[in-house]
Amino acid sequence: MNYFQAIILAVIEGLTEFLPVSSTGHMIIASSFMGIATDPFVKLFTIAIQLGAILSVIVLYFKRFFQTINFYLKLIVAFIPAAIFGFLLSDRIDKLLESPLTVAISLVVGGIILLFVDKWFNKPTILEEKEITYITALKIGFFQCLAMIPGTSRSGATIVGGMYLKASRKVAAEFSFFLAVPTMFAATAKKLLDFYKGGHTISSEQIQLLAIGNIIAFIVALLAIKSFIGYLNKNGFKMFGWYRIIAGIIIIILLQSGHNLQII
């Protein structure tokens, strides 16, 4: 991986981490096009730079992170399912992270769902984050587990899950942002541990790549979150649904035409 490739992946991460389009899926496709998808450091990089993106949540919602203890307990409860399934399915997830075909199919399926989600769940009863119960938080956590399939979208799964459980679009989106903090910290820590257990080491140049990637992802995500919330409140999910479907179909066509996306 060179600096240009790192910058491209970081911009993609910042733009897509909090949109229901799958940041991991987009980075898998991008890294496959660049011919670096199977590099162990690239796999680490695509997870680790999510830290930069989630730090933007802490900055933008700084005051919200100094609420009652219930706020943190709800996040912990919602995080538990992903922690358990992530640990149990780690090896299988790593294999899926190398498959553009999995991403493409997930993009299309998720896109179809997003076309109709605004009509399905248009009568919310949870209008503030404090109204989310522990049981609701746990259920949202199970929805988050769907994002272990590349291309599904962590934010998309948790936002749709929250809306299914009667949260408004805004509340579901913000809770999804908050839940990203413990989830991505844990995912990065797990990936670093696996990287070192695999006998790999990080060079000084790779440390610089990680630093640049996190900084760029942080800056881009700051802008993306503000834009997304405003757009979502006014227009809903349909545009994201069509985007996912079109992107997924294009990838499938490329794969069927023999384009080398390094599927393993």
Encode 1-38: b = buried (16+ Cβ within 10 Å), e = exposed: beeebbebbbbbbbbbbbbbbbbbbbbbbbbbbbebbe
Distances (CA, A) of 121 to 58, 124, 236: 28, 7, 11
What percentage of the chain has pLDDT greater than the value 90? 29
Q: Measuring CA to CA, how many Å separate 133 from each of 29, 76, 82, 126, 144?
A: 37, 13, 18, 10, 17
pLDDT at 263: 38
Contact present, 14 and 224 (Cβ < 8 Å):
yes
**pLDDT for 146:** 87
pLDDT given for residue 88 in this prediction: 76
Supply the pLDDT for residue 143: 93
Q: CB 110: neighbour CB atoms within 10 A?
A: 27
Whether 181 and 58 have beta carbons less than 8 Å apart is answered as: yes
What is the reported pLDDT for 79? 93
Low-confidence ranges of the chain (pLDDT < 70): 90-99, 258-264
Q: Which of 157, 127, 122, 119 is nearest to 140 (CA)?
A: 157
- The pLDDT assigned to 261 comes to 52
What angle (nearest 5°) sits at the alpha carbon of residue 38, between those of residues 48 and 263? 125
How far is residue 165 from each of residues 20, 74, 119, 145, measured CA to CA in Å?
17, 15, 14, 16
Looking at every residue in the chain, the average pLDDT score rounds to 85
Q: Which of 244, 216, 251 is nearest to 19 (CA)?
A: 244
